[in-house]
Amino acid sequence: MQKVSLNGQNLTIEEVVLVARQDAEVEITADAWARVQASRAFLERIAHSGKIIYAINTGFGSNASVIIDDTQTAILQTKLLLSHATGVGKPLEREAVRAMMLIRLNTLLAGYSGIRSETLTLLQALLNHKIHPVIPSQGSVGASGDLCPLSHMAIALLGEGEVRIDTPEGERTLPAREALAQAGLAPITLAYKEGIALNNGTTFMTALGVLAVFDSLKMLDTALQSVALVMEGIMARRQAFDARIHLLRRHEAQCEIAQRLQDLLVGSELFGNTPSSPTLSPTLLEGIPAWLSESTWEKLAEKKKNPQDAYSIRCTAQVLGASLHAIQHVESVLAHELNAITDNPLLFEDTEEVLSGGNFHGQPLALPLDYLKIALAEVGNLLERQVNKLVDAHHNDCLPAFLVEEAGLNSGFMIPQYVCAGLVSENKVLAHPASVDSIPTSANQEDHVSMGSISARQALEILGNVQKILSIHTLVACQAVDLRQKQLTHWGLACAMSPQTKLFYDKIRACVPYLAEDRLLYKDIEAVGKVL
């Protein structure tokens, strides 16, 4: 079994994915335990010093001026979690819950939160026993961190709320106390500061953001293979991808996209092809469709004299390079946040101070996550424009209308382009930045909030839409290549794909055949989505 070792200081995005999706076992280093114990010992000392310290012997938020009697400080933390577990909406996916649990555990291991070892041991045990709290996806404004979803996560440690466990028949939901008992675990009773340590921070938006950015990079990788097929189907002009052009722009991600497309298309007889004089057999010219006729070849040869393709082809490196740069930026922000200390107040044992601040505020993530939304939406925009170009007989360089033979009798890929258009339009709404909004909470004590949790949820939603667009884009790209090869073969011209694109093409054609005439396409779209 794979293992991930936590010390509160160097958790990576790849490790989060390992635990979230592959159920890697979680271990904790000895030095992390030492920091946790030292921080707790310091907290115990000051908690009995008679000082008024926020969230230890005071209420929370606008109730910070309410002093809590020593006999009630423990129940204060329990009430905090119970009162804040008020989420609504569809429960988070299993992988998102596991990512949240791991990131919160790592944060608390840094030794600035005063939480007890036994509390963290139980959180670790829940992960390793695959006991996953049911966490509603809506309810956080991303200000005092993700209070609502983190409270749903934390109440499972008390034996409260519901959890999901794995069974041979699939996931099963049951009361947390029952699941703990089945695993031989006992719920805890919270002590000083533990409730606020568990629910104060950016863990929800970080977890969703990590999964979104990891999948975004994978999606873009796959999209480039599909785009390379489009370049072959449309016989795109090579010069727009010349490295010298992109070096002059001085954007590394743009140069990277251009180079990767060049690499994918090495050996292609379609990319950059300028049709030479065909060797047409007279017997083949009788009763052939217009897109295979000699006049069509002449029209195509004339079109290829134009040195420039449409923007959706020629500017691919500029557009996707900008999105890649944005995704990489968000990735770097999230990599920092994985090891950030985001609860409040924070304990500084070396100077014997407890400092209240605002590290829980989600703004440092909200802005990049909105940037991610825009970057992903733009990938979808470009893919849809390429789909539209390929299905339009006026702009697809002499392929049949809607990429189907006998267009008119057949609709071909007419409606899949509609679907792409609908998804792109939906993404434009979702891409509106959530972080520009703020609604005061807690009786105006918390008078600026980030809405970063909404940014994170929307980023995943946009990504899902782009993945659907990509499935259609890939189907259309394969069909375009098939038709182009049939056309050039008929004219006796070279038409081999590059070895790289052929591998990708073969994977798609292994599950979805050429569209010779209309059939149910939703099944094809689903099948391609699974391959991708």
Q: Catalytic residues, which ones?
A: 54
**10 Å Cβ neighbour count for 329?**
16
**10 Å Cβ neighbour count for 181?**
13
**CA–CA dist 449, 22 (Å, integer):** 34
- Paired with 347 in beta bridges are 354
Q: What is the CA radius of gyration of the chain?
A: 28
- Cα–Cα distances (Å) from 223 to 324, 376, 503, in that order, read 12, 12, 14
Could you tell me whether strands 162-167 and 346-348 are parallel, antiparallel, or unpaired per DSSP bridges? unpaired
Give the up-direction half-sphere exposure of residue 240: CA atoms within 13 A in the CB hemisphere.
22
What is the SS3 assignment for 355? strand
Only one residue has tokens 């990079």, namely: 217
What is the SS3 assignment for 183? coil
245 CB burial (10 A radius; 0-12, 13-18, 19+): middle
Interacting residues of 283 by C-beta distance below 8 A, sequence separation 6+: none
The CA-based angle 102-89-133, given to 5 degrees, is: 30
The CA-based angle 365-98-459, given to 5 degrees, is: 35
Helices (H) and strands (E) in the chain, counts: 19, 9
**10 Å Cβ neighbour count for 523?**
10
**CA–CA dist 238, 308 (Å, integer):** 10
Contact 95/76 with Cβ under 8 angstroms? no
**CA–CA dist 198, 452 (Å, integer):** 19
